[in-house]
Amino acid sequence: LQKILILLHVTACVVVGKTLLVLFPNAVKRYLLKQGEKSGMYKNPKFGYENWGPTFFSFKYLLFVLKVKWKRLEDEAYEGHPAPNTPVVTSSGEVRHLFDFLQGNRPLILNFGSCT
């Protein structure tokens, strides 16, 4: 049910965005540029609006946003419920899932750190 609701929401946003892009292209471009400034996309001078702007509200964009939002459903943890089996990256760069590291009834300890 959650995936269907996400599908409907994202599809509606893309349809509205695409419609606004067709009807008011300059206003939508100004809005997207403002969002790009907030996100820091302009720190790379070789990555201009022409590189990313036209991709907004496309079918590829819709599929990407759906994939990300559906993946985040698996990452939610709730008190008193089982832990999510989220993907993790090993120190060698291999993508595994949290439950891959369980061994019998032994507790699984996660150590988060930073190598700076």
pLDDT tens for each residue of 69-103: 887 776 677 788 878 888 888 888 888 888 898 99
pLDDT tens for 17-61 read 899 989 999 998 888 888 877 777 667 777 777 877 788 888 998
Q: CB within 8 A of 55, min separation 6: which ones?
A: 61
pLDDT of 116: 58
Structure tokens, 11: 């599809």
Distance between CA atoms of residues 21 and 7, nearest Å: 21
Global pTM value: 0.56
Give residue 40's pLDDT: 73
Q: Tell me how far apart the alpha carbons of residues 108 and 36 are, in angstroms, rounded to a whole number.
A: 40
